[in-house]
Chain A
């Protein structure tokens, strides 16, 4: 009995060792084949590449003898790689030349590839074949990779088809965490359903701040005066992240912005938002909003003070021009010394400021 059990153990151990060794040897043998294939593929790709370029440059002169493209998959892959490097005219010539020898089959094969780069190529090339748009639709709906889905939607858009609203609004929520949703901004937000879906995404509890930021950018372009109501709602929501508030600021802050929204930014709890507000006013060169910066020049946070004072200095022309008397008066009113940077920061704050600005070694 003892002997039997020992033999079984021995047998199992030996089988494991032998079986795994054989598998590795098979893998090594397969590697020989793979290495050879890689070499021959590289040569074939090179040949296809040069012929495609020739065909693109001289569409009328080059004889369309595409017998060289035995492998439509390789042709599609090379076409995708080269097409993204050239202008639209050359790209069209290339695609026309490749289409004659059935590159569509290769493109459809690429669409099923496990490799994300291949599927991206496929999504991009399919836009040149409107009759195959159903494959694009499929990619846009079901592909594992969100980038591929985004590119497929872009291509769909370029062939005049759009992802049906029901998929699209679902996708907005599903892809909530992904900033690639930015490509939505390139889509035509035509129907009210789509806009409603966007607004829903903006207030969806699981949507990421980055997504909300992108969605807000789209809405800001297309939503007219209603965007102020949405902004107010966002700013009033205690759960709104700093990111979305900053996006709101960057997209809607201008002279037309209602005063209550200005107040929301100025009295924001997060210093980051108050500092971003100063930057925004400066970026807009909004002289008429100079007054709203004065309270911030006395802010409790030194970084906000820094930004506010910088903005005031630039907008009022300190250091460059002789600034207006009323501005000087207001500056004196808000600080004890005209040289703000010297008077309003402690040594410690200044040292941090030096570091933040980089390169100012003490």
Chain B
């Protein structure tokens, strides 16, 4: 075999590898869609807020809501105001100012009338020094901790150390919790306090919604194309992937934007890890590992009816940084827990969820990179079969559209959150159009994340926050 033939064979082999992995991921996603659809068809729809309140409020466990804030001056008051007005009988809110350089602490002081108080120390999780604690004179449920900068994980550990309630709810400072979300999520804790120890909520995008007095008054679609693509992406992630994984008992990710954990569990596993930017993913994987090691039948579940609204980045640079950070976080977690991947000892989380993570977070960016590399080379050397290329592209785009359409249908079946028909049509259009450019862009950012992981980058990167659009 001469060099040219060897080269041709190598290119063909890489091509086959890329196609096989691509098809495998597509099939995986399709199975997830079917599992989710089955669950949405058979599961009992959630009750209205009044029924939940009448029947569950008196049994609701106490919850500490942790809000880590770093340079969130523009949104923090809206978020905390919304949190203090949620419909839940027994909660406290702890905002952890993680050494912000902006006016985060001062706006909180002005808005909520904060006065200095002693630092409550209940837990022993590792975190940076807390330099001050403040209580509100008007809102007794609010506690603000001011600490040296140590990252999100560090802030959450500091908050967990001061939490007085049975459960800890983690949300992002740029998020708005739906008024009944906590009660809806806690229904699972109320029903099975010993089996269910962690619950993840669904994240939706607040871009385009009309917000009045810290509450989502009217749900709408974002005007920016980038946010629109993210809307459909979030729907796919939460309605399809997260729901399916929860239903097969393989949930390994509770979003850091809205998750509930038993406080004892957080203390037991040692809190959030400082050595990754994907601290939420790492914690969940560690919890699953812990369950298997202590042979516990406790479970983490996803609750699609508990909704938290968040802001999506509206510029390419911020979105790019976010996506490459997510990719880096996932790779750091997989590397840290590499012993779990394909290890049957760790049950479904290892054999299903981590397998998917390995395919999507490790092999997929690699395939994309190889794909982008070999197509021009193959064209250059006349090795590319145009028929194959069109066939493969058609299949991949077809799968992509089917996935997005599936997510829209699930949304229609269960929630009907978007009030107008044209919302559905625009979402469908976005689901089709994102295959031409946006997905490739996301792939590119994932490759950047991969490279950053290989280079050992540890920083979060700058995240610019803006005020909630359409807010009053």
Contact = CB atoms under 8 A, between A and B. Distances in A.
Interface in A125-148: 144-147
B44 A114 contact: yes
A44 interface: no
A116 interface: yes
A147 B190 CA distance: 11
Contacts of B394: 9-10, 12-14
Nearest to A27: B412
B44 A361 contact: no
Interface stretch (A18-26, A280-288, A291-299): A18-26
Interface in B116-132: 116-118, 120-121
Interface of B: 44-48, 50-51, 55-56, 59, 115-118, 120-121, 135, 140, 190-195, 385, 387-388, 390-399, 401-402, 404-406, 408-409, 412, 416, 421, 424-425, 428, 432
Contact of A120 (B51, B397, B401, B416): B51
Contacts of B432: 17, 21
Given A16-B399, A24-B424, 14 more contacts: A7-B391, A9-B392, A9-B395, A13-B395, A13-B396, A13-B397, A13-B399, A16-B398, A16-B402, A30-B412, A116-B51, A178-B192, A208-B194, A361-B116
A24 B408 contact: yes
B193 A210 contact: yes
B391 A6 contact: yes
A40 interface: no
B44 A145 contact: yes
Contacts of A28: 421, 424-425, 428
Given A8-B391, A10-B390, A208-B194, A361 B398 contact: no
Contact of B116 (A23, A114, A362): A362
Top 7 nearest A-B pairs by Cβ distance?
A: A13-B398, A9-B391, A20-B405, A13-B394, A6-B387, A16-B398, A6-B391
Contacts of B118: 351-352, 354-355, 362
A191 interface: no
Contacts of B397: 13, 17
A167 interface: no
Size category of the binding interface on chain A: 35 or more
B385 A19 contact: no
A177 interface: yes
B44 A208 contact: no
Q: Interface majority SS on A: helix, strand, loop or mixed?
A: helix
A179 interface: yes
Nearest to B115: A361
B398 A14 contact: yes
A208 B402 CA distance: 44
A13 B120 CA distance: 59
A28 B425 CA distance: 7
Nearest to A117: B51
10 contacts: A10-B391, A13-B393, A13-B396, A14-B394, A14-B398, A17-B398, A30-B412, A114-B44, A115-B45, A117-B51
A361 B117 contact: yes
Interface of A: 2-3, 5-10, 12-17, 19-21, 23-25, 27-28, 30-32, 34-35, 114-117, 120, 144-147, 177-180, 208-210, 351-352, 354-356, 358-362
A2 B387 contact: yes
A179 B59 contact: yes
Given A12-B395, A13-B397, A180 B409 contact: no
Contacts of A14: 394, 398
Contacts of A15: 398
Contacts of A145: 44
B190 A178 contact: yes
A20 B421 contact: no
A179 B401 contact: no
B194 A17 contact: no
Nearest to A175: B191
A173 to B, nearest CB: 14
B405 A21 contact: yes
Nearest to A4: B387
A25 B402 contact: no
Contacts of A351: 118
Nearest to A12: B395
Q: Which of A6, A13, A358, A361 has the most CB of B within 10 A?
A: A13
A352 B121 CA distance: 8
Nearest to B141: A358
B132 to A, nearest CB: 12
A352 B162 CA distance: 11
Contacts of A355: 117-118, 120
A72 to B, nearest CB: 21
A114 to B, nearest CB: 6
Contacts of A7: 387, 391
Nearest to B408: A24
Contacts of A114: 44-45
A179 B398 contact: no
B428 A146 contact: no
A341 B216 CA distance: 48
Contacts of B120: 352, 355-356
A6 B389 CA distance: 8
Contact of A6 (B47, B121, B390): B390
A130 B401 CA distance: 54
Contact of A177 (B44, B117, B121, B191): B191
B135 A19 contact: no
Nearest to B51: A117
Contact of B135 (A32, A210, A361): A361
Contacts of A116: 44-47, 51
B144 to A, nearest CB: 12
A114 B44 CA distance: 6
A210 B46 CA distance: 24
B436 to A, nearest CB: 12
Contacts of B421: 28, 31-32, 35
A257 B197 CA distance: 37
A30 B406 CA distance: 16
A360 B118 CA distance: 9
A208 B47 contact: no
A32 B190 CA distance: 38
Q: Which of A35, A145, A361 has the most CB of B within 10 A?
A: A361
B410 to A, nearest CB: 10
Nearest to B59: A179
